[in-house]
Amino acid sequence: MGGFQVSPDALAKVGERLTDASTKVTQVRKGLVGTGGDSSFGANQIDHPINNLIDRWQRALDDMSMDTSTIGKMVSAAGKAYAQTDSNVAGACDV
């Protein structure tokens, strides 16, 4: 039967990095607030596509931040659980 090995510490660190990335994406998203507007350029032919792009970009960044945060927390929790299991098994073997 095939399998793989994962370092619990490495898994927890990846989770932390994903959570940090989520924070950075949120900061980028906040930087878009106030960008565009109904008449930023004074011509509907320009304003509408730009505002549409900004709206879509903001929604995409919101989704990315939420997904990255959720996955980061889950991966980090898995790494900690694996580390705790390893510790419990090692402790049981010492008895």
Residues 15-62: tens digit of each pLDDT: 999 999 999 999 998 888 777 665 666 777 788 888 888 889 999 999
Q: Cα–Cα distance between 78 and 76 in angstroms, integer?
A: 5
Closest of 16, 27, 10 to residue 61, by C-alpha: 27
Q: What is the pLDDT of residue 4?
A: 77
Higher pLDDT, 90 or 40: 90
Q: What is the pLDDT of residue 60?
A: 94
Report pTM: 0.70
Domain segments of the chain: what residues?
A: 44-95
Q: Which residue has the higher pLDDT, 1 or 90?
A: 90
Is residue 70 pLDDT above 90, yes or no?
yes
- In angstroms, the CA 65 to CA 28 distance is 10
